[in-house]
Amino acid sequence: MTPSVYAALWDGHGQYLIARKRCFNQWWGENAAAVLTAEASAAAVQAAQIPNPQPHDWNATTSLLAAACRAALSAWHASLPELDLALQHARQAVAQPASRALAATTAAQAVVKVFTLVKYLPLVGASSLPSQVDAAVNGTGLWATAQATAATLAGSAASASATRQPGVVHQAGQWALPGGGLHPGEAVDVAARREFAEETGQSLADTVRFAIDLQLDIASLAAPQYSVVRLQVTDGTPLATLAADINRAIRPRPANFDRPDGAGVTDWELDLVRVVASDDLPRHLGVYQALAPSAIAIGAGLPPASPARLNFNWQEHYHHLIDWYAWVALQLMTA
């Protein structure tokens, strides 16, 4: 069983950021990676049509590709180096677009890689995009053709993702800390920062601004090892400000309720984050929150929704246990 790692963000003065989990999620891993890569390609084709594009013209493509890389890493870890290479090439080309053709072409090639991997997506349309971009660059084709294809691919990826069967979120409906499974060979501190970014859209990559000052390791007879990494915000940014930014990112997109509003959120497990004093942690962490009967019934039928597979004890699986959080709360109060 895979060890789990969680991130506890605090201000150094007794205030912590905690999160309430959603019950169901269909915006994760390969779904998010496919949609974000397709949208990044569409943004790249649009930027490439500007006569003398400036760095800021590529901002949308840059942020979408960064999120796509994070989603792909979450979905496939290091098992698909050719996909990671394609996405990284696209990011590099867009970060310093010496050639608008190179930036748009590498983004289109990344789409082909992702669409090849995600079997429920239409590869036929994706495979033609790089050649259409090349033709537009060379003057033998129209940018409008490439733009229409890129927009169609982005729309089809989003539609396909929206029809995927949602999964039950670990620790569904409970107060928790952002976190998840440790990748093979991954350091605990790296995993904590990665998981936090995937679920909140807030990067903790700046190791000075977000400094680790504590690591708790919890062993359980019923589950794999849990680790909690505490990170302190050292630049004086109020946790309330970060919480507001995160809550905007994890709210449902107004026109599309099956994905989060923030493009940086690549694993939509969180419903709400809030700031609490350390003394209040035991009133939230490790305290079971009753779920609506409808949520329990839906969870029992996933996956797949079949009466023969219904198991109304799904919350007892170790992925949903929260009792160990009570110990974590006490440790964070006194550390």
Whether 126 shows a pLDDT value over 90: the answer reads: no
Strongest mean pLDDT among 62-71, 229-238, 323-332: 229-238
pLDDT at 302: 64
**CA 139 – CA 193 distance, rounded (Å):** 45
pLDDT at 317: 79
Compute φ and ψ for 58, nearest 5 degrees: -100, 5
Whether 133 shows a pLDDT value over 60: the answer reads: yes
Whether 307 shows a pLDDT value over 60: the answer reads: no
Task: Work out the percent of the chain whose per-residue pLDDT is above 90.
Answer: 49
Average pLDDT over residues 2-13: 94
Q: Using one digit for the tens of pLDDT, what is the confidence trace for 230-280?
A: 999 999 999 999 999 999 999 998 877 789 999 899 999 999 999 999 999
pLDDT at 245: 98
pLDDT at 1: 67
Yes or no: say if 36 and 74 are a contact pair by the CB < 8 Å rule: no
Minimal CA–CA distance to 325: which of 275, 271, 288, 272? 288
> What average pLDDT is seen over the chain?
87
The pTM of the whole model exceeds 0.75 = yes
Q: What is 178-218 written as a DSSP string?
A: SEEEPPTT--HHHHHHHHHHHHHS-----TTTEEEEEEEEE
Minimal CA–CA distance to 33: which of 81, 95, 76, 62? 76
Among the residue ranges 148-162, 193-207, 216-230, the one predicted with the least confidence is 216-230
Radius of gyration of the chain (CA): 21
pLDDT band of residue 153 (cuts 50, 70, 90) is very high
pLDDT at 83: 76
Among the residue ranges 21-25, 195-199, 227-231, 305-309, the one predicted with the least confidence is 305-309
pLDDT at 71: 87
pLDDT at 98: 63
Pairwise pLDDT comparison (12 vs 115), residue with the higher score: 12
Pairwise pLDDT comparison (208 vs 160), residue with the higher score: 208
Q: Using one digit for the tens of pLDDT, what is the confidence trace for 86-102?
A: 888 888 877 765 676 78
pLDDT band of residue 79 (cuts 50, 70, 90) is low
Yes or no: say if 319 and 174 are a contact pair by the CB < 8 Å rule: no
**145: how many CB neighbours lie within 10 A of its CB?**
16
pLDDT at 219: 75
pLDDT at 303: 54
Whether 163 shows a pLDDT value over 80: the answer reads: yes
Whether 315 shows a pLDDT value over 90: the answer reads: no
pLDDT at 311: 66
pLDDT at 52: 78
Whether 313 shows a pLDDT value over 80: the answer reads: no
pLDDT at 279: 97
pLDDT at 54: 78
